[in-house]
Structure 1
């Protein structure tokens, strides 16, 4: 999770997505981006994370398709978070659940550096980081049926209708997620934009191979699970009466 819309790697260019539209091409080559460029100054600790800690906890596309048991040196449940922003939520989860392995994907350099520095200070070994396009990581690096939970917290809502094509939650993306989840694995989404929550719910309800886990009384949404840490941004929004919507869909095939 992140402060508002720092996730899904909001560091790349804000130019129009105008790449090739070949439907057989990988998603990250079809002009579909999971991020926009956003600048940011680097602190000493963030620089230390990128320079000193990255060789131990960082992973790249060049490393290819991963054997996750070999990557972490054990067999465990695996959680992937796309767009962790400054990393506060991911760090808290990794520290609270040492029995689980976490993979974070983010392109924002200050956020990656901060998380790496903090992970080292806390002695965390159950965390690995990609500073890459999330779509490329999913397509090229994570094996099919290898993930127990995929988290997408507070992605950029692109509220203007003409920009809806930039939203990461699209049918092709959802199908890609399904293939990477284990049968019975969960796709957990959260947003503070009600219109985007409705978009997500409608798209996920129509997606083959997924079942909504919400109780009938609250469907399509679930109450905020205790395992999703509350960010300062979200807590401030709650005090102001702003809503947050969580959805959890389970791979059903």
Structure 2
């Protein structure tokens, strides 16, 4: 398979699994269905220059080497992983608002990462790093268990056709994997504007015994990071079309 992912919107491209593997299995040893579409993308000349010069400092490709957050960021701080950062609009804005957090943005679409890299450089967001690759591969192979304060998944591809539901990121195995990477008390924050996917996400997350549901309105004070997201072009278009944004929060049990 070649090419680049077809990004759903400003904040929505991820990869998922539906192979029955446990969170500790190496994802490369098991057949799996990825959740991203492929299309080609090109970078503008300025983005290419930034990429060539600065990507080795701020980004890396998915590998089997576990990330050392203190070495990566040069400090010890709460760590959040965003799966499917798209063009990075939300990533950059939230990182700027919470400089005390370190953020790893995971995305497969190179021009999207290049756009985020440009924002990181312009705004001097030293608390952002990027990994190019499949989100589940990154969590499985690069993120240590019990290490994350939070995981964010904003507007993942809903794969609306029934025959494609197995490609959705948020399967039961993915919830278990995410939970295993969260610290006790760490929080998973999910947002979607697709009604059918929301109806899938809620029960699937609730079925994971290591997670407990929080209320996105009344339990905000129990979340160790901000839940305020900037309204991206993608989300704004959905609001204009009167689509309802569903927010989900789960906390890993202690």
The answer to whether the 8 A contact 1:34-1:135 is kept is no
The equivalent of 2:26 in structure 1 is 26
How far apart are 1:4 and its partner, in Å? Answer: 5.9
User: In the aligned structure 2, how far is the partner of 1:217 from the partner of 1:124?
Assistant: 30
Say if 1:125 and 1:88 are closer, same or farther in 2 by CA, change over 3 A: same
Question: Is it true that 1:3 corresponds to 2:9 in the alignment?
Answer: yes
The equivalent of 2:195 in structure 1 is 194
The alignment partner of 2:37 has SS state of coil
How far apart are 1:51 and its partner, in Å? Answer: 1.2
How far apart are 1:9 and its partner, in Å? Answer: 6.1
User: In the aligned structure 2, how far is the partner of 1:54 from the partner of 1:63?
Assistant: 19
User: In the aligned structure 2, how far is the partner of 1:67 from the partner of 1:215?
Assistant: 31
Question: Is it true that 1:111 corresponds to 2:112 in the alignment?
Answer: yes
How far apart are 1:63 and its partner, in Å? Answer: 6.8
User: In the aligned structure 2, how far is the partner of 1:236 from the partner of 1:115?
Assistant: 21
How far apart are 1:36 and its partner, in Å? Answer: 2.1
User: In the aligned structure 2, how far is the partner of 1:170 from the partner of 1:184?
Assistant: 21
Q: TM-score, normalised by structure 2?
A: 0.85
The answer to whether the 8 A contact 2:83-2:135 is kept is yes
The answer to whether the 8 A contact 1:183-1:252 is kept is yes
The answer to whether the 8 A contact 2:64-2:141 is kept is no
The equivalent of 1:80 in structure 2 is 81
The alignment partner of 2:129 has SS state of strand
The equivalent of 2:222 in structure 1 is none
More off after superposition, 171-180 vs 209-218: 209-218
User: In the aligned structure 2, how far is the partner of 1:2 from the partner of 1:120?
Assistant: 25
Deviations 1:89-145 (A, max 9, x none): 101111111111000000101101111122111111111100111111111111111
User: Would you say how many aligned residue pairs link Structure 1 and Structure 2?
Assistant: 239
Q: Give the 5 Å matches for 1:74-223.
A: 74-214=75-215
The answer to whether the 8 A contact 2:80-2:150 is kept is yes
Say if 1:216 and 1:89 are closer, same or farther in 2 by CA, change over 3 A: closer
Deviations 1:163-210 (A, max 9, x none): 100001111111110110010111111111111001000101111111
The alignment partner of 1:204 has SS state of helix
Unaligned runs of 5+ in 2: 1-6, 220-225
User: In the aligned structure 2, how far is the partner of 1:166 from the partner of 1:8?
Assistant: 10
The answer to whether the 8 A contact 2:149-2:187 is kept is yes
The answer to whether the 8 A contact 2:88-2:115 is kept is yes
User: In the aligned structure 2, how far is the partner of 1:228 from the partner of 1:23?
Assistant: 32
The alignment partner of 1:183 has SS state of strand
The alignment partner of 2:38 has SS state of coil
User: In the aligned structure 2, how far is the partner of 1:179 from the partner of 1:242?
Assistant: 32
User: In the aligned structure 1, how far is the partner of 2:164 from the partner of 2:75?
Assistant: 42
